[in-house]
Chains A and B, each alone.
Chain A
Amino acid sequence: AQTVTQSQPEMSVQEAETVTLSCTYDTSESDYYLFWYKQPPSRQMILVIRQEAYKQQNATENRFSVNFQKAAKSFSLKISDSQLGDAAMYFCAYILWRNEKLTFGTGTRLTIIP
């Protein structure tokens, strides 16, 4: 079975500091996409960042960046200069090229300490 593991149920970080959320996944496929989604208290799931497995370069979006290690099947999210609005549940997910179904991890709840 394809799985996504987020080993940190909860994390906290001081405002303006940097935090890294970890994610590992298990697939025998070579063509896939990886995502981090954010779910704030409003419940609206928002895409934070996406990574194509065939790209070696790590994706970045403003204060958000990933560390993609394909051989280790690891996909961590780094949030720099943390802001109060970053407080949310963060979900790691992937989709296989061949079947187009998103598989999610169990989530990490991030708290920002003022």
Chain B
Amino acid sequence: DVKVTQSSRYLVKRTGEKVFLECVQDMDHENMFWYRQDPGLGLRLIYFSYDVKMKEKGDIPEGYSVSREKKERFSLILESASTNQTSMYLCASSLQMIQPEAFFGQGTRLTVV
């Protein structure tokens, strides 16, 4: 069974902290994604990676960076957390266009205080 696992379901951090959100997939997928979900705005793509060490900016990359050192792991980094980064973060993976549908993790609800 397909599995995408995010390291935390809930996280509370202070303004200015460096925050790491981790995502691991066990499907040998090439593509991995980080989305941010806010009410009324749907899911917005932060960053996309199509291979190890490769990344592309999505629609809202400002204030975020990513790391993909191994195929199965994709990390989202908030360099200096701010209150406007309080949100739900969703990780996903896909097998490129052979099987284009994305599989999602359970989400991390991040609160920055």
**Chain A residues within CB distance 8 Å of chain B:** 4, 6, 9, 33, 35, 37, 42-47, 50, 91, 93, 95, 97, 100-107
Contact of A100 among B35, B40, B41, B97 (CB under 8 A): B97
Contact of A50 among B58, B96, B101, B103 (CB under 8 A): B101
CB of A101 within 8 A of CB of B58, answer: yes
Determine whether B92 belongs to the interface, using a CB cutoff of 8 Å to chain A: yes
Q: Mark B24-64, 1 if CB is under 8 A from A, else 0.
A: 00000001010100001111110010100000101000000
CB of B100 within 8 A of CB of A33, answer: yes
CB of A47 within 8 A of CB of B106, answer: no
- CB-nearest residue of chain A to B102: A102
Complex interface: chain A residues within 8 A of B43 (CB): 91, 93, 102, 104
> A35-B101, A102-B92 are contacts. A9–B45 as well, Cβ < 8 Å?
no
CB pairs A–B below 8 angstroms (18 shown): A9-B40, A35-B101, A37-B104, A42-B106, A44-B104, A45-B92, A45-B104, A46-B104, A50-B101, A91-B42, A100-B97, A101-B56, A101-B58, A102-B43, A102-B94, A104-B42, A104-B44, A106-B41
- CB-nearest residue of chain A to B58: A101
Determine whether B90 belongs to the interface, using a CB cutoff of 8 Å to chain A: yes
- CB-nearest residue of chain A to B44: A104
Contact of A95 among B41, B88, B100, B104 (CB under 8 A): B100
Complex interface: chain B residues within 8 A of A6 (CB): 42
> A43-B88, A44-B106, A45-B90 are contacts. A100–B100 as well, Cβ < 8 Å?
yes
Give the CA-CA distance A107 to B100 in the complex, in Å. 20
> A91-B43, A106-B42 are contacts. A43–B106 as well, Cβ < 8 Å?
yes
CB distance from B94 to the nearest CB of A (A): 7
CB of B107 within 8 A of CB of A43, answer: yes
Give the CA-CA distance A44 to B104 in the complex, in Å. 7
CB distance from B83 to the nearest CB of A (A): 22
Instruction: Using A50-B100, A107-B42 as known contacts, list a sample of 12 further A-B pairs with CB atoms less than 8 Å apart, ordered by residue number in A.
Output: A35-B101, A42-B106, A43-B88, A45-B90, A91-B42, A97-B97, A100-B48, A100-B96, A101-B45, A102-B43, A104-B42, A105-B42
